[in-house]
Structures are given as C-alpha cells and as structure tokens.
Amino acid sequence: MDLLKISDLNSTYDVQYPFSMQELFLIKDDESNLSFFDLSYQFRGLVLLFCKEGAMAVRVNGADYSLAPKAVLTILPEMTVEPIARSQDFKSFTVVMSYDFIEKFTILPELISNTEVLDSPLIYANTQDNERIEEISGLIAKYYSQPKTIPLNQVIQYLVYALITAVSKSYESLTLKENLQRSRINEITDSFFVLLNEYGYLQRNVAFYAAHLNMTPQHLSSLIKKRTGKSVKSWIGFAVINKAKEYLKDTSLSIKEISYKMEFADDSLFCRYFKRYIGQTPNEYRNQ
C-alpha cells in the first residue's frame, strides 16, 4: 500500500507553482475522475471527503463504508484506505492536508484522538452543518485555484481550520443526538419498570405498557430487549411469577383465590402459566 504524499499528487496532476501548495491538495467535484479515488494508501495527515452526488464504497482500516450525498468521511493519520467502487455520477469535495499544515490548529489533537471519529469515520451532516460545510468548501476551492501568495496561503489555511471545525461540530451534533436518544431510552426504560412494579402481576399484555408510554408494542419490545437483554414479555412473566411465589409462600390463600387476585380467567390457566415458567405446579412449589 502506497504512502501518500502531497508532493506526489501535485506532480501526478501537474499542479505547479504558483498554483500548488506543498502541504495541501484539493480535489473538487468537477475532478472526481482523478485516479486519487482509485488509490489504496496510507497518509500521515488528514483527509476530509464530502460526497455531493452519487455514491462511493470504500474500505477504511478494514471496515467497509458506503457514501451517499451529505456523507462526511474523515480519514485520520495512518488509516489505511482502499477504494471499492464509485458511481459514474459521483462528485465530491476532498481536502488532503499534511500534518504540518494543520498541526498548530488547536482542535486538531482533539479531533485525531476522538474515539468517535476513529470508530465512526463516516457520518452524515445535518442540514445546517452541511450548508456550513458547502459554504466553506466553496471559498477554499475559489482561493485554491488562484496563484498563491503568502497572504493567500494563510487565508486558505484559516478556511481549512474553519472546515475542520465544522466537521468537528457535526460530530458534536451527532454525539448530542445520541446522548438525547440514550436519555430518552433510559427514561422509557425507567417508566416501564415503574409501571411493571405497579401493574405487572395484573397486566400481562405488552400493549398495556406500550399504550401508557405512547409507543407501539413492537417498538417498546425492541427497546427494552436492546436495553436490558430481556423482552417485555419476559419481564412481565418475571413480575407475575414473583407475585405468585409471594402469595404461595407468605399466605394461606388457595390456588383459586390467588388466581382470582391476579386476575387470571380461572385457576387452571394460572397453574399452566406458573408451570411454564417454573417447571412446577403452584402446589408443588408451595409444598417443596
């Protein structure tokens, strides 16, 4: 696998002084046919790829990713990149920058060490972040195509800093959204167990709990299973059996009376329910 160098890219695509930059290479959406997208490489700097049209499949550090419009692919230093395929209408804006070009940018160490970026190099920017990225990218492309001067190089550098900041904010937005989702999941889970504690031995239908939580039974079941590892029906069964055990061990109520208190249609249904979970009849459990 090739070790990518910006000087090689400048040479390959004949970008000469005063239009070239030694620490930055830009691939604009009207140049997507460049063989850069066919390279398998490692790079010691940072690569930001923004998909504008079409689609692309790429393997990064052994994991496969599919890019569609609004996709942001962040390739951190030393990651391995292997292109798989791209559509004929694929268009993108790609910034290849050396570490020296951005090493003084204060947010860079945080971005590079961010485990979320490492674990999820591909994200989809929300509408606001995408508009910001488009605007900054347009300015970078405009100035990059002009003959370079020291002041212009500095302008481009600060614009690239702004672009990296916009990408970092996209990750922050994603993290905030995920945290809100996690908080909502925790809230629903807690509410479910409050309901289960109050009604569990009487209400054995998933729909009852879903209705109280303004959810479909399928959604609630999926959420609780993912959060606890046990289904809603399993938790309901757990609550029913625990209450039944309490009646059997701590009271002298008959099986018929217990089944009535727990609102089973009849005691035979209660006995079958109990045995399915415990492997014993209520009387066998009580007398052991």
Cis bond upstream, residue 147 (ω within 30): no
Q: Are residues 161 and 235 in the same domain?
A: no
Q: What's the one-letter identity of residue 191?
A: S
The answer as to whether 186 is a domain residue is: no
Indicate whether 191 belongs to any domain.
no
Instruction: Indicate whether 187 belongs to any domain.
Output: no
pLDDT score of 134: 93
> Residue 193: its pLDDT value, please?
84
Q: Which residue in 149, 117, 212, 204 sits closest to 20, CA to CA? A: 149
Tell me the residue range of the domain where 49 lies: 2-179
Same domain, residue pair 38 and 94: yes
Whether 231 and 97 share a structural domain: no
For the whole model, what pTM was predicted?
A: 0.60
Give the per-residue pLDDT at 88.
82
DSSP 3-state of 59: strand
pLDDT of residue 25: 95
Contact status, residue 202 vs residue 181, Cβ threshold 8 Å: no
- Domain identity same for 240 and 279: yes
Number of H helices, E strands in the chain: 12, 10
Backbone angles phi, psi at 74, to 5 degrees: -105, 115
Question: How many domains does the chain divide into?
Answer: 2
Task: Going residue by residue through the chain, which has 288 residues, state the pLDDT in tens, using 9 for 90 and above.
Answer: 778 999 989 988 889 989 999 899 999 876 555 678 888 999 988 999 999 988 889 999 888 888 988 899 999 888 899 999 888 888 899 999 987 787 667 666 666 656 667 778 888 888 888 899 999 999 999 999 999 998 999 999 999 999 988 888 777 655 555 555 556 777 788 888 888 888 887 888 899 999 988 888 888 888 888 777 778 888 888 888 888 988 998 899 999 999 999 888 888 998 998 888 888 899 988 888
* 109 Ramachandran zone, left/alpha/beta (phi>0; psi -120 to 50): alpha
Q: Are both 63 and 168 inside the same structural domain? A: yes
Phi, psi of 76 (to 5 degrees): -80, 165
Assess whether 85 and 213 both reside in one domain. no
Report in angstroms the alpha-carbon separations of 284 from 151, 194, 262.
89, 31, 19
